[in-house]
Amino acid sequence: MPSDTYREFWEYLSTPQRDLIQEGQYLMNDIIRHQSYHFKDYSFLVFPFSKAYEGFLKQLFKDTKFISHLDYISDHLRLGKLMAPQLADRLADRSLYLKIVNASSPQLAEKIWQTWKIGRNELFHYYPHNIKAIPFIQVETIINTMLVVMEEAYVALKPFIHTSLPQEPRESTINK
């Protein structure tokens, strides 16, 4: 039986985010596990979860007012850049990493960042010198980490979620 916090977290996810997770679980559980074919690289299984992770973070950051509604709907928001700890000082008040640290803890900010790196950046970029082919067991670890970090982030930042009626869009912070 899922915990109350997991159920609440699951209900917080948008329908497209839940669909991505369920479709990814279907691929893992009903197709890949039961086939005799062995892939050299299972990183493609992470993709639906990675999209859900990005969508969840954007939604959470919008709902906590860490980003504006205009940032949330923008095609130009560079979430990874705004979450990068090495850019926190340069980004100052635009740094999502620092906003997470201030709202919760450095540990949570680092977990969110590390999960972003291992579940997205390191897998989906092509480097000729490092293809980063991963076995199925590692895929399971990455996906489980994503889901755990999503729930932890939701629980930790839930007190900062603004539940009032939508306001006029604030100025975008992405091009400053």
The pLDDT tens digits of the residues spanning 156-171 come to 999 999 865 444 444 5
- CA 18 – CA 16 distance, rounded (Å): 5
In this predicted model, which residue has the larger pLDDT, 124 or 159?
A: 159
What's the chain's Rg over C-alpha atoms?
A: 17
- In terms of Cβ atoms closer than 10 Å to its own Cβ (0-12, 13-18, 19+), residue 119 is buried
Q: What is the mean pLDDT of residues 76-84?
A: 95
Question: In this structure, is residue 169 part of a structural domain?
Answer: no
Question: In this structure, is residue 167 part of a structural domain?
Answer: no
Question: Which residue in this structure is represented by tokens 């897998």?
Answer: 123
At 89 the pLDDT is 96
At 30 the pLDDT is 74
Task: Name the domain count of the chain.
Answer: 1
Question: In this structure, is residue 132 part of a structural domain?
Answer: yes
Residue 65: half-sphere exposure toward Cβ, Cα within 13 Å: 12
Contact 109, 101 (CB under 8 A): yes
Question: In this structure, is residue 171 part of a structural domain?
Answer: no
| CA 75 to the chain's CA centroid | 16
Domain span at residue 116 reads: 4-160
Question: In this structure, is residue 43 part of a structural domain?
Answer: yes
Question: In this structure, is residue 165 part of a structural domain?
Answer: no
Q: What is the mean pLDDT of residues 77-103?
A: 96
Residue 77 burial (CB count, 10 A) = 21
In this predicted model, which residue has the larger pLDDT, 121 or 58?
A: 58
Question: In this structure, is residue 65 part of a structural domain?
Answer: yes
At 3 the pLDDT is 75
The percent of residues in the chain predicted with pLDDT above 90, rounded, is: 68
- CA 78 – CA 137 distance, rounded (Å): 30
Question: In this structure, is residue 175 part of a structural domain?
Answer: no
